[in-house]
A and B are shown apart, each in its own frame.
Chain A
């Protein structure tokens, strides 16, 4: 920011002055050492004041060579030059210039020529000139300091701060923006700002500026900016509308890239955790089913054989005992089965998703007394196991929500394929519905885990719900080419 400001003033930074101070002379080292010391103390100030006085004198002399120039014009020129000196160097130099100008004016313009004071009016006029010149010098000096201070503050901020025109294009940007994005301030200011914004974010970014243009006092927008080395940087902007009579928007941003990445990572972790959990449950369910249940079955078979093929006919009493044992084995098997089923829908390993969902809907109807119908349309024969498990779990969780929260008296599950490229699962109820926008944040784990499961298989969740109009939850999953 400082560079632009300085180039606007046409100010040549002082180090270059020092460097150009006659390096060819034999005692140049002495001179440059003196200059360096002088620049830090009063000496430099005095030198600059002398230069200012010479500058004013030169202007005055220049004016005098012109024919027919009136003294008001010369005075105005002097005032302007004083302001310029104040901006470039400071008020001391401006004062030196102003005094030179005043003395010169008095000398050349007071009739008759010569350093004589003709009348009180002239004294007043000269004094007024001096005062005005000094005041303007002071003002210019002050505003220069304010600007420098502002630049310093802006550049001190670790967060991007910038000034934009009403379309959103950069007018100036602080060091933080330059550091974060890698683009120079000039590059940022010379191109339409939307070129830096991610194509997917352009629409809502534009919308935020439109809001400001329509008279909103502030707007927030989150978007991605391309950095010079090709990365995308997430920035969360606060835009402040221009003050009355101004035509620039002040904008402050926060770099939220890390935050976004962390959240992304967290989501990935959650997904991994869910997959791991599903795998672990599957493993335990298998173990129960393949090992424990089989061994139990074997005991049943042996007992049956004992009853039938005992070398001696069994006494009635023993027969009853074996019957009782067999009954216990059946009970155990049943418990094991429901335990293993609750851990993992093993039916999915042998039956396809439509059949499993249909069974589940029937079971749901029995358990909750809410009739749940199941319909399919153009479902492909082969559904990848991961997708089948995820969709089944989503249906399970959604129907659970229907039973617990919706107050519905009917539900419907629809599984529909589209041209073998995607598969949609719909869970519909006639319950009291909810404000989908509002409850998303507060809906707790139910919806969240549905969304995570869908995301995990590359799918998306859409919830259509309004109060008193039921809910339709749609999960759409792309199917890879088999």
Chain B
């Protein structure tokens, strides 16, 4: 749909191109300014880090990454992020479904509060979880008597990531569900499809690109998350040290050299997710056209 709009605009502006030039005479100036800003603030820092990392040679990066603490932190980061998107994809889709299809008291209040995790500073998120599940709290001491540790352990990281990424899937799926015509589902029901078949054949295919988009955004946020994780899980090597915390530790101990390799790995991860997101969106648009 967005593709058609852009195309239409391209056609309509084509005829008025000469006039448009007069409206935005400083066209080239705007273009140069934007490219310059992005170049200075985004491209140059990334290039600088990459050049510095490669300056010591690939062997150097490899030996930095091969340290057990470094390997562990990367593994932990990606594993917990995967666990988080599995849970958030299901719960986020369900939340979107309930918000769109069901009426209940205070629905619009709940709908507004979904964005809350985006508004709460990450340090505050960490503090909240420590307050609720920490050793000084009622819940925390109840759980630790039964041998379940949340704060300064891996479950704390999972909770923090679930919190900060909660809105992504909900907000990606919600508009798609809202636009979905109930006629399709009703037609399927008239043709004798059971509810399970309807959900599997009609609902799931329509929302899959949106769920994947939300999940990819959540994943990208999760592998970079720092503030909430360092407060909730601390900085315990080989136990709770995720990649961003490892990088922070290396910088803190005046060893920026050791942070370079992992930083590049995280940057490559982010780039890969951006490319995947782009592919998902294209795939979703093609599905739109077919439907």
- Mutual binders A and B: no
Give chain B's interface residues, CB within 8 Å of chain A.
none
Interface residues of A (CB under 8 A from B): none
